[in-house]
Amino acid sequence: MDSWESSQIKEIENKLDSDIKTGLTEEEAKKRLIENGKNELPTAKVTPWWVTFLHAFLEPLQLILMFAAVISVVAPLISSPGEKLGFHEFIDFVVIMLIVIVDAVLETIQTVKARKSVDALKSLSKPKAVVLREHNQKEIDASDLVVGDIVILEAGKYVPAELRIVQSADFMIDEAILTGESVPVEKTHKAIKETTILAEKTNIAFMSTFTTAGRAVGIVIGTGLNTEIGKISEAIDKNEESETPLEKKISKFGYVISCVAGLIGIFVFLLLSLVGGFEAWASYLMVAITLAIGVIPESLAAVISITLSFSTKRMANNNVIVKKLASVETLGSVNVICTDKTGTLTQNKMTVKKVIDNNRIMDSDEYLELDKSIQKELLLKALVLPNDSITEGNERIGDPTELALVDFAELMGIDELVYRKKFERIDEIPFDSERKLMSTLNTVDKKTIAFTKGAIDQLLSICDHIMIENKVIKLTESHKHEIMRASINLSDDALRVLAFAYKEVKNNKLEEKGLTFIGAVAMIDPVRKEAVQAIEEAHAAGVEVCMITGDHAITALAIARDLGLAYDEKQVISSDKLDTMSDAELEEVIDNIRVFARVNPEHKVKIVATLQKKGYIVSMTGDGVNDAPSLSKADIGVAMGITGTDVAKQASDVILTDDNFATIMTGVNEGRNVYQKIKRAITLLMGFNLANVLSILIISLIFKISPLEATNILYINLIVESCLAIAIGMGPLDDTLMKLKPQVGKNGLLKGIILPIIKIGVLSALCSVASFFIGMMATDIKTWNNVFNSGEYIGKISLDSTNWLDQIHAIMNSSLSAIERNKLLDEYIVFGRTAMFITIVMSPLFFAHLIKISNWKASKKIKLQVSKPLIYASLIALVLSVGVITIPGLNESVLGLVGYSKETAKWTSDNIWIMFVAFAISIVPFLLILLIDAIVFYSYHLSVGNWQKNQMLIAEMINQDVKEQNKKHKK
């Protein structure tokens, strides 16, 4: 790689076969354009929306649901061969497919905004450039620039390609989008020492940066992908779209559920066939399929999408825009946040914090309270007169350092525009990097006074007097020593020091010598107070925060101390050290590094990649083009909405509309709650499904027929479960989750919820089976005896019993065909099915309110949190369920429940009690779960053994020591 910054201009001309006085010939330019291609960035490929839509159908859970839909149509054909299918048999198929399609639409809406980072990068390059060719200046398309072209740059223009400056005059460039430095940098044509740090390449103009002042001539040394912007473009393009932790867990969960459903179906089919004989294999297959459908949480995909959608809306109201649904949960999984400094952790506004007055350091607030004096009045004039910045309301125009001086003056009641009009500027000597000074000549009260500001060492060298206690005295070496010592102390704290002097001029000739030193101010971009609080919150939540900045290590560490991020030089690493470290060496130390200073874009990607390699879930924040590769690489990229470039926003997963680090923690809290809500929903769904499977399995093994039909299962899963599960996702936030460490690694969705699922499943199943047997007691034995002893059943069933169990055994042992026998049994158990249906539908309306996977171990206090959405959902599900149980036609024809028309099984005043008993039994799981949870809570908090007490005491002592150590560090 050519070291352009260290090469002399003549060497560069020879290397590139060009001449800065004449430029390239048109013929040579065309030749190079053909050889090297246009000065453009490639356009990113955008995935069509229909591909995204179709891909949504390939998710494991979606495939399972579609399989269940097909089975719901095939099953009746198998159980009743030769019979025509009616609309009833297609209800299940239609409902399941609607769920699948709705979920795919939701997923497509959220992900269709394909990333166009490279296109956004390309849009930064302005289309025109002024070049010198064959002695003539001409304007051409920037895409036609070639290496060796001579480009003329002026203020207010974008740099069209990578340039080595060969001529310059007070030339300044804003490189914030590339280096992260908010202050424009001065560019020179002089050769410098070779460096890899972009911010220190002071004779290179980078493509797509913006010129703010002066004029320059540069020679093109790189175009298109061979520029720093081009490298970033390639880095973004190479970063593959990776699955979020939630997507991985859902995918794995889908595979597990599909395997479990298949195994249960096969097991039940074989078991029933072995016990009851293979003659009735079609009926047994129907039972097996019903059980398999019972295992599958049909509504889970939709519940997850809707839960995430509600969270994204809530986050949008809190200044967090989420571009991809699953990214919400990823925020909750984050255990390392890599953040830039300027504007995120700091206010992005230089502010005067200290003043050197009378050779001593004092706080700016203290200086503001000082009485007016000659010395203070002179300093006020020196702040605003040799200063070109302007503030008008919310509009701030000028260099950040000069704006800080104006702001400080305004705090003392000075309007810079009024002062400049009152004390007219006669002459000036502009600032330049060699002198590090700026001077103006102004008329003040009929006198002509020169005011000078600049670097304190440079200013002291041209002063021979000093003002102390409003008196001008001779400036001695002792005075200089005191001032420089104060300045060094301030610089060590990363404050930027500017000094001020004045001189009364008799002949209107402005000269920078013989000045009187007035004082100095020290400024810094102060940390956001809310950022300090947010970092404390992050540490409490087990989330580490790393600061990545373009600042020098000393400045970065000083800011980090104020933020509570780092306290020691060992926690800081600079880019020059990063360049010499291998990946293995960086892995060894990265756990202890909290500040990365003077970094380039490739360093940020390396840092993120190393953290990910060590198993961290990494969030990266940024706003510039230089942040785009690392935003894309991170598990969750967070861009700034106010100061962020389009490139950063396109490359990110989340956008903060207020550019505030504290807002990230709002997102982390929401993400953790989303994950917990999803787990609570899964606990409800899987616990409920387990109850269905166990109850159906128990009764099927006893009576060789499923007590519930597929439509019953689908109603339960798609209506009751969905209402409650979606309401769980809409519930209030649990702030105690921010006291826990994030769950990372290979923890699946079922971790920590298997016991609650089993508890819900077993208790609900036992109550459902009990309800079935009690429901069968309402069977009209006399009427059924008449049926069995007449018509088509004469000679096939021999029975005259007063017990419903005997009648079932008679049916099972009859000479009817397997199909006829199962049809008769299906009709006979209708009271048991209805009672079981009522219990299994109503029970979750109560126990759903007890599913709390929260930080219940953290406190002995029980925080009762009412979820209004869950209460409303329970009422809706109750009304719907009462409707389907009581509405004529719907109960009997669609769901196979007791109705009003059949002679053998209809509601009368003698059997209506079954409804109320079944409803009462549905409350039992709620009471039992409440009792079990109370016993567990009591045994954990109120019945603690001595060993546990000692462990808790030790843990409390350790936490107290850690807090005290942190306080000492901060001091």
- By annotation, the residues acting in catalysis are 340
Unique residue bearing structure tokens 């600032």: 431
Question: What single string gives the DSSP state of each residue in 94-109?
Answer: HHHHHHHHHHHHHHHH
How far is 873 from 821, CA to CA, in rounded Å?
A: 40
Closest CA relative to residue 208, chosen from 114, 121, 84, 109? 121
Q: Is the four-CA dihedral 391, 354, 181, 420 of positive or negative sign? A: positive
Asked if 399 contacts 172 with a C-beta cutoff of 8 angstroms, the reply is: no
Give one DSSP letter per residue of 794-861, joined into a string: TTT-----S-HHHHHHHHHTSSS-HHHHHHHHHHHTHHHHHHHHHHHHHHHHHHGGG---S-TTS-SS
Residue pair 95/714 in contact by the 8 Å Cβ criterion: yes
CA distance 868 to 849: 11
Phi-psi domain of 831 (left: phi exceeds 0; alpha: psi -120 through 50; beta: other)? alpha
Q: In 3D, which of 566, 574, 404, 575 has the Cα closest to residue 496?
A: 404
Task: Please name which of 626, 557, 598 lies closest in space to residue 200, comparing C-alpha atoms.
Answer: 598
List CB contacts of 802: < 8 A, sequence separation 6 or more: 781
Torsion of CA 767, 768, 770, 774, to 10 degrees: 130
Angle at alpha carbon of residue 888, lines to 885 and 891, rounded to 5°: 40
DSSP structure class, residue 306: H
| CA dist 838 → 112, 742, 895 (Å) | 43, 40, 12
Angle, helices 830-847 vs 913-922, to 10°: value is: 40
Tokens encoding 803:
């017990």
**Whose CA is closest to 850, among 899, 916, 798, 923?**
923
Contacts of residue 145, Cβ cutoff 8 Å, sequence gap at least 6: 39, 129, 131, 151, 160, 161, 220, 223
Cβ-count burial 202-223 (b if 16+ within 10 Å, e if not): bbbbbbbbbbbbbebbbbbbbb
d(CA 132, CA 760): 80
Q: Concatenated DSSP letters for 725-781?
A: HHHHHTS---GGGGGS----SS--TTTTTHHHHHHHHHHHHHHHHHHHHHHHTTS-H
Pairing of strands 618-622, 595-597: unpaired
DSSP 371-418: PP-HHHHHHHHHHHSS---EEETTEEES-HHHHHHHHHHHHTT--HHH
Contact between residue 851 and residue 683 where contact means Cβ atoms under 8 Å apart: yes
Q: Which two tokens stand for residue 845?
A: 């309306």
The strand ranges marked E within 505-554 are 515-524, 544-548
Instruction: Read off the tokens for 625.
Output: 């083009």
Contacts of 262 (CB under 8 A, 6+ apart): 292
| Distance, CA of 521 to CA of 412 (rounded, Å) | 14
Residues in contact with 478: Cβ distance below 8 Å, sequence separation at least 6, in sequence order: none
∠ at Cα 512 (508, 518), nearest 5°? 100
In DSSP notation, 411-478 reads: HTT--HHHHHHHS-EEEEE---TTT-EEEEEEEETTEEEEEEEE-HHHHHHTEEEEEETTEEEEPPHH
For the record, the structure tokens of 559 come out as: 């800011």
